Structure formats: structure tokens, C-alpha cells
Structure 1
Amino acid sequence: MKKHILVALFALGVPAVACADPIIGLWKTEPDRKNLISHIQISACGDKFCGKVESAYDSSGKKVQTPNVGKQLFWDVTSEGSGKYGGGEFWIPMIDVDVAPQMTLSGNTLTVRGCEHVVCGHQTWTRLEK
């Protein structure tokens, strides 16, 4: 059965490695400067990875609508092996800049880092679902 699924994925042009990659899933961010928490859906986008803001919540856990919900947060990220991801671009909504992302996966946590010239920032995201 697994062999048939892999054959079908290759026929559709979807790399099997990307489909099974542990970074794929729903992730919860740390609170931002406005004290909002976002849920980010990371998906395979061809042979790379992209992330989209699925939802946002205030400090009490109440779902809120922000202009960023539904927007692409990062794209063209690739696996570099050993739980490291990079390349592509990462949009930082709070300051409206694109940076080169660096991500490190360790179990159910994902450390996300981006730098704009010499200014860098990072967050640790927690897995909500695979």
C-alpha cells in the first residue's frame, strides 16, 4: 500500500520526503509585541516548505481577527538536514520586512530566527498538531 502511495505522489510531482517531513504541521508562536499568539500552518509547497498564519489569539486565549490571518509568513524554505531549515524568505509583519529564515527543529519545538542586516530576532514555536 505504501508503495502505491509513493508512486502516486511522485506521479503528481510531490516529493515524498517533503510530505513526511517533521516540520509539517500546526505551530503556536510566542506572544508578539502586541501580546498576540498566532497559529502557523507549515506545509510542503512543492519540494520546499511554506508557512501561513491560520489564526490569532489574545492573551486570554480568545480568537481575534488581524490583518495577518490568512497571509503567507514564509516561503521557499528547504531542509538542510539534522533538523535545520533555511533559505527562502520570512516576512515579519510587525515591522513589514522580509528576512532570511533559519529554523531548528527539536522534538515539538521549532526555533525560528531571522536577521535584517545586523538586527536579529527569534522565537520558539510549539507544535499543536502534525
Structure 2
Amino acid sequence: MTVFRVIAASACAAVLGSAALAQSAQVEVPLGLWKSEPDRRGIVLNVRTKPCGRSMCGRVERVKDRRGYDTPSTMVGQKVLWDLKPQPDGSFLGKMVDSQGNWLSETRIEARSGKLHLRTCGDDGCQDLVWKRLR
């Protein structure tokens, strides 16, 4: 585990109240800037995850179009990951709002090898997404 990850895990554990999280060498703390998969319109969100009280949340920092250019959007500044709480297996469980504004009532995220694996479930069923770490 790199020094950065140890420090980040320790800081996250202190904020989120999970000492076991910092001690597990297998857990990658999902704090940082992430690039979503393109939605059906080709829109990509850059989402920053950070501690929010005793849980974790994620806000949109940038929105890109299918060519990779910044595009104006009301999503910028909006929280899209809500109330993500650490789980015993190292994942985080909470809620998500997708780029169309649909609530996905059960969202599980887990960071592995520089990727954020999301399993989102809503009225239309569940889907698996993989976001890439930008920072």
C-alpha cells in the first residue's frame, strides 16, 4: 500500500468511523476524482468523492460531451452519490442520481486498481458501471 493510500485510508477511517477500513491492505479508499462511463447521449461526468459527515458523497465537477469537450450542464455542482456508508467487505453502500436525474436507491461502490466499480439498482433493475480514476 502506498504512503498516499495509507494516509488517505487513515483519514477516511477517522472521518467515517471505521478503524478496520484503514487496517485492511486490500481496501482502496474511493476518495478522489472519477470519470464516469458515457451515458446513452455520450455525456461523461467527472465526479469528486469525499467525506460528508459520517458517510461519503460525490459531486459533479465537470460534464463532457461525446468528443471530450466541457459542456454546460445543470449537473455541475450537484451531488450524485449520497450517504455512502462503509461496509464490512470494504465497499460503500448508498444512493446515486444518474445523469438523467433518476434515483438509484441502492448503489454499492468499491475501488480496485484505479477503477471505481459501481452496482446501481433502481426501478429498471440493476447495472454494473466502471469509472476511471482521474486523480
Same fold per superposition (TM over 0.5): yes
The runs of at least 4 aligned residues of structure 1 exceeding 4 Å deviation read none
Q: Hey, what does 2:55 align to over in structure 1?
A: 48
Query: SS of the residue aligned with 1:52?
Result: strand
Structure showing greater Rg = 1
Return the offset for 1:98: 3.7
Q: Hey, what does 2:103 align to over in structure 1?
A: 97
Matched, 1:116 2:122: yes
Change (3 A) 1:95 1:75: closer
Matched, 1:32 2:32: no
Change (3 A) 1:45 1:118: same
What TM-score comes out, normalization by structure 2 length? Answer: 0.74
Return the offset for 1:15: 5.8
Q: Hey, what does 1:5 align to over in structure 2?
A: none
Counterpart CA distance in 2 for 1:119 and 1:84 is 20
Query: SS of the residue aligned with 2:87?
Result: strand
Q: Deviations over 1:28-77 (max 9, x none)?
A: 01111110111000010112100011111112211111121111101110
Letter in 1 for 2:14: A
Counterpart CA distance in 2 for 1:15 and 1:119 is 32
Q: Hey, what does 1:3 align to over in structure 2?
A: none
Change (3 A) 1:105 1:83: farther
- Assess if the C-alpha contact under 8 Å between 1:36 and 1:57 holds in 2: yes
Q: Hey, what does 1:16 align to over in structure 2?
A: 14
Unaligned runs of 5+ in 1: 1-13
Change (3 A) 1:26 1:98: same
Change (3 A) 1:17 1:95: closer
Letter in 1 for 2:129: Q
Change (3 A) 1:40 1:108: same
How many residue pairs get aligned? The number is 116
- Assess if the C-alpha contact under 8 Å between 2:43 and 2:63 holds in 1: yes
